[in-house]
Amino acid sequence: MQDTVILAIESSCDDTSAAVIRNGLLCSNVIASQQVHAEYGGVVPELASRAHQQNIVPVVDTALKKAGVPRESISAVAFTRGPGLLGSLLVGTSFAKGLALSLSVPLVEVNHLQGHIMAHFLEPSEEYRQSVPALQGVTLRHPEYPFLCLLVSGGNSQIVRVDDFDRMTILGQTIDDAAGEAFDKCAKVLGLPYPGGPWVDKLAGQGDPSRYTLAKPNIPGLDYSFSGLKTSFLYTIRDLMRERQAESVEQLAELIPNLREDLCAALQTTVTDILLAKLKKAAKQTGITQLAVAGGVSANSGLRAAMLELGRQQHWDIFIPPFSFTTDNAAMIAQAGYCKFLKGDFCPVDAAPYAKTRI
């Protein structure tokens, strides 16, 4: 029988990625992260599109080579259609269309957010496992439908009910900023590099979360809000600066030992508390006790530990993806694309990318 080979392309923000899944097993996942944005403290859309254009050919080529797959054996090309930066998405979308047309194979469109959730079903091939030290000897557990997924990234914070790979319902979502954005913006105030989330995580590990108290939102239902937390973080620093007569955060950090560490610890604990309070509420409301986390912020060590603790306390089943599948990658797009391909769910060649969230 002929192999089913899915080549997937992800270019929704500032990572150019390509991956190959053969007969359901992940064979390669190549990611070129763009360093160009660091000096601007955030992603610059124009620069991101340009970098995608430079990266896409070598990234796809490397993914195929690593998987040991010739172009002619590709069964379908999957691509991230949205949500994301339109200029970035256009690069991946156009490339995917061109390749699919030239090979006369179907195109499969994937929603980036569904991709993050489908990362929970990735099963690496033995060869791929050997190439990623963190995956060696690790058994990946996959949730069963239905499950709840806390989807937390730089642009989204949602609780999603997942009934199947193509049946997902948003139960709650942020009404303003995303959790990752709160991490990144607060980190910027502290003078930490972009993206700030991993820095906050690192410093929080050396800090005391009880030294500063940050405001938690009071939002009805299962929705989130993080803009008030950002303001509370900013005001805490402003008040400390007034009190100590410091003119900058740097000066304040010289006056207060462990300032950055303690503020990061407070921030991380508060974000985690906010996220998990609503997830717990959703589990109680739906009676669904398989809980997963996905998206870039799911790399956060405080959130991971608190989710596991919640599972222990409530006797719920918790699913946390390996680090390499948490931030943007094409492996998750390939997984979603593979499921859609098997169902014959193809998309027309004139499918345009979309910027806004829809799931």
Closer to ligand KG4 by Cβ: residue 50 or 188: 188
User: How many positions of this chain bind ligand KG4 (CB under 6 A)?
Assistant: 20
The pairs formed by 47-50 with CB atoms below 8 angstroms and a separation of 24 or more are 48/13, 48/14, 48/85, 48/87, 48/88, 49/85, 49/87, 49/88, 49/90, 49/91
Q: What is the 3-state secondary structure (H, E, C) of 86-107?
A: HHHHHHHHHHHHHHHHHHCCCE
Q: Least distance to ligand KG4 from the beta carbon of 59, Å?
A: 16
Least gap, CB of 215 to ligand KG4 (angstroms) = 19
209 binds ligand KG4 (CB under 6 A): no
Q: How far apart are CA 134 and CA 139, in angstroms?
A: 11
Instruction: Kindly calculate the radius of gyration of the chain based on its CA atoms and give it in whole angstroms.
Output: 21
Contacts of 215 (CB under 8 A, 6+ apart): 228, 229, 231, 232
Task: Please tell me whether residue 19 binds ligand KG4 under the rule CB under 6 A.
Answer: no
Helices (H) and strands (E) in the chain, counts: 11, 10
Of residues 269-308, which lie at the interface with ligand KG4 (CB under 6 A)?
Answer: 295-297, 299-300
Cβ proximity of 122 and 23 under 8 Å: no
Residue (314 or 324) nearer to ligand KG4, CB? 324
Site string for ligand KG4, 324-343 (x = CB under 6 A): ---xx---------------
Q: Is 42 in the site for ligand KG4 (CB under 6 A)?
A: no
Tell me if 322 contacts ligand KG4 by CB under 6 A: no
Nearest residue relative to ligand KG4 (C-beta) = 296
Task: Indicate which single residue of 153, 236, 270, 272 sits in contact with ligand KG4 (rule: CB under 6 A).
Answer: 153
Q: Which residues bind ligand KG4 (CB under 6 A)?
A: 13, 153-155, 180, 183-184, 195-198, 200-201, 295-297, 299-300, 327-328
